[in-house]
Amino acid sequence: MSERTLDHVSEAVRDRLSRVEDPELPVTIADLGMLKELKVVDDEAGRARVHVSLVPTFLGCPAQFIIEASVREAALTCPGVDDVEVAWLDAAAWSLDDVTPAARRQLADVGIAVPNADGQLSCPNCRVGNVVIDSEFGGTLCRRLGHCDACGDSIEVMKAANPGDWAPGLAGSLPLVLEPNGRSSEEDSSERR
């Protein structure tokens, strides 16, 4: 396979994989920050072999099997690709910082808030109030439950896989209010208890 052909195949694979969607959220796995490495190599028999490394959001996420199958299937639809190897980087950190602005907008459109680095967690529905966390556990491992303090709507909030970095010293408070600026809001949580 010539270098130019390999480049074409690589580009096609990159483009195709960038469109693989998460089965539980209406965004791509690339925009969620799960697509870590992509390597396309010549297998010396005139075909291309694809190596993909993925980062799990939470280690127990059951969607991993579907994502892996989708990635494999997507890569195999690209002409010239013969073989796909998918590896999960269990130990690699996944952070809310890895979620792209595009994904944040798309998630807000379906009522899912993603905390950002400046500590703001505004309501994705009314866009006026702030989201108050009601439970650290939600419908999927990467989500938690909250509500808006202005419109009262129930809001799902993306959950940090590294809460220690986002809010050290949160143990003991229930429900939790996580603030990404490194402190937990004790007053808010005690008021609701």
- Measured from the CB atom, is 41 or 126 closer to another protein? 41
Smallest distance, another protein to C-beta of residue 37, A = 15
Smallest distance, another protein to C-beta of residue 177, A = 12
Among 139, 151, 186, 191, binds another protein (CB under 8 A): 139
Among 44, 90, 118, 187, binds another protein (CB under 8 A): 90
- Measured from the CB atom, is 86 or 150 closer to another protein? 86
Query: 3-state DSSP helix/strand/coil percent for the chain, to nearest 5?
Result: 25, 25, 50
Element (H, E) at 88: strand 81-88
Per the CB < 8 A criterion, the answer to whether 76 and 121 are in contact is: no
Element (H, E) at 75: helix 64-76
Interface with another protein, residue 99, by CB under 8 A: no
Residue 18 Cα distances to 22, 108, 164, angstroms: 11, 20, 30
Residue numbers at the binding site for another protein (CB under 8 A): 56, 58-62, 85, 87, 90-93, 134-139, 141, 145, 159, 161-165, 170-174, 176
